[in-house]
Amino acid sequence: MSIRWEAVIGLEVHCQLLTREKLFCGCPTTFGGAVNDHTCPICLGFPGVMPVLNGEAVALALTAGLALDCRVRSPSVFARKHYFYPDLPKGYQVTQYEAPILEFGHLAIEVDGASRDIGIRRIHMEEDAGKSIHADSGATLVDLNRAGVPLIEIVSDPDLRSADEAVAYLKALHEIVRFTGVCDGNMEEGSFRCDANVSVRPVGQRTLGTRTELKNMNTFRGVQRAVEYEIARHIQVLEDGGRIDQETRLWDENAGRSRAMRGKEDAHDYRYFPEPDLPPLVVAPDRVEAVRAALPELPRAIRRRLVEDHGLSTYDAAVLTGEPALVRWFDAAVAAHPNAKALCNWLTTELLGRVPVSALAACPVTPERLARLVALIDDQTISGKIAKTIFEKMLLSGETPDAIIDAEGLRQVTDTGAIEATVRAVVAANPAQVAQFRAGKTTVRGFFIGQIMRQSGGKLNPALVNEILDRLLAQATDQET
């Protein structure tokens, strides 16, 4: 009988905090920059310098932790983690070890319609290392612009049971750090990166199997594939009677496999000790409460609001919460005109079909202007068809819908007398089609609609046109019989 296996996965996620300055000095944190331009004696680890903790970084760490229902630990303690690598100028990384600033949180994930709570074991603050560039000359060049940039590491409990759950957790976390403004979530630039601890055990066994740590997964898809691969690898090794070594493995996205990193025998001896240059971090309770009070609405709550208060589908709610800026845009539009469904359709299909989310802020079609356009449809000043023309012109000219309507005379005709005159004229001018209609070919009705709309430039109210045309065609048929 074959064994049924269960995977046990825990994730460690590093998020770069959206401060302007580094963790212990005033150097800028902006990505890129000329090599070593964002460095100073402190982040270069020159002798005699003293680190002073960035208050903004503490505020952002607290924000992330409180959004994840963590408890604040005060005092928390910074520690030195020692290892040698050229991109680590001091020979140690300042991090938190035994006493992290935040502990015991949780995050709800949804997989296949079922909701689960995943434990957050701890969140600690630490500084990033620099970047090694392996030059063609064979030498290694070191750029320390990133050294000292503030990070938080969010460590989950080993509560995840599949690659799907791992990715759902990672996406939920990604969403929260972006919506709280803690991190820009940019995986390509490395401001949001994930390591995964993976093990397997027979279903029902309580003790954990030996785990491996996966690194170098740069996309959600990469995490999915790497974790799936690693679970399958563990099961295969164990079923073949082998043994899993506790080791760090690198995910190779192109090859679709993980491989062991070399030379790790001393790697675990980091000789942590409390950082003597930094006092224990005491956070006052009123500070914690101030951060808690300032927490923005979180994505889950926003989706619930969009569905329950605005009647949107869960699909639309998910689309709108894809980006914090998108929800803000939508909320501003709904505040100006409360037709949420129509605004959502215009925003997600028409506007986002032409303008990427990142360019929305600079788009001439502002939330207020789109709201005005929808309001003009709703009060029958214009038809939905004409609205699309106006929308195109709004994008190109940067004019308001009212200005375009006035300039081009696009106001919808709702005067039944005027509409009836046009419809009558079209019916009278096309006796052959009227005869076909009378003969039972009802599809010819579309021909009349087309003619009427063409003659009026599409400005006649479509509902009234339909009503009047039906009445006139019926009369024509009655007259015949």
Partner 1 sequence: MSTSPEHDLEPATVAHIARLARLEIAPEAAERLRRDLGAILGHIEQLTGLDTTGVPPTTLSGEATRLRPEGLRVALAPGEHVANAPDHEDAAFRVPRVL
Q: Give me the 69-108 binding string for partner 1, x by CB under 8 A, dash otherwise.
A: ------x------x-xxx----------------------
Judged by CB under 8 A, does residue 16 bind partner 1?
A: no
Q: Which of 1, 2, 136, 139 is the binder for partner 1 (CB under 8 A)?
A: 139
Q: Which of 3, 40, 237, 352 is the binder for partner 1 (CB under 8 A)?
A: 40
Q: Which residue has the tokens 């006796």?
A: 431
Measured CA distances, 253 to 228, 260, 318 (Å): 13, 14, 28
Judged by CB under 8 A, does residue 219 bind partner 1?
A: no
Short-list 219, 242, 182, 237, CA closest to 62: 182
Alpha helices in 147-208 (DSSP H): 163-179
Q: What is the largest CA-CA distance in the chain?
A: 106
Contact indicator for 383, 414 with CB cutoff of 8 Å:
no
Other C-beta atoms closer than 10 Å to the C-beta of 294 total 12
Q: Which of 3, 14, 36, 445 is the binder for partner 1 (CB under 8 A)?
A: 36
Nearer to partner 1, 40 or 375 (CB): 40
Smallest distance from partner 1 to CB 74, Å: 9
Judged by CB under 8 A, does residue 264 bind partner 1?
A: no
Nearer to partner 1, 39 or 258 (CB): 39
d(Cα 412, Cα 252) in Å, to the nearest integer? 60
Q: Which residues pair with 28 in a beta bridge?
A: 21
Nearer to partner 1, 51 or 105 (CB): 51
At position 176, the amino acid (one-letter code) is I
- How many binding residues for partner 1 (CB under 8 A)? 47
Contact indicator for 40, 27 with CB cutoff of 8 Å:
yes
Q: Give me the 44-63 binding string for partner 1, x by CB under 8 A, dash otherwise.
A: x-------xxxxx-x-----
Stretch that binds partner 1, among 18-26, 94-102, 206-214, 307-315 (CB under 8 A): 18-26
Stretch that binds partner 1, among 6-14, 35-43, 330-338, 431-439 (CB under 8 A): 35-43
Nearer to partner 1, 290 or 463 (CB): 290
d(Cα 342, Cα 345) in Å, to the nearest integer? 5
List phi, psi (to 5°) of 414. Answer: -115, 5
Nearer to partner 1, 74 or 345 (CB): 74
Binders of partner 1 in range 269-328 (CB under 8 A): 269, 271, 279-284, 287
Judged by CB under 8 A, does residue 474 bind partner 1?
A: no
Contact indicator for 36, 107 with CB cutoff of 8 Å:
no
At position 334, the amino acid (one-letter code) is V
Judged by CB under 8 A, does residue 136 bind partner 1?
A: no
Can you give 369-396 as a three-state secondary structure string? HHHHHHHHHHCCCCCHHHHHHHHHHHHH
Q: Which residues pair with 201 in a beta bridge?
A: 6
What residues line the site for partner 1 (CB under 8 A)?
A: 19-21, 25-27, 34-37, 39-42, 44, 52-56, 58, 75, 82, 84-86, 132-135, 138-144, 266, 269, 271, 279-284, 287
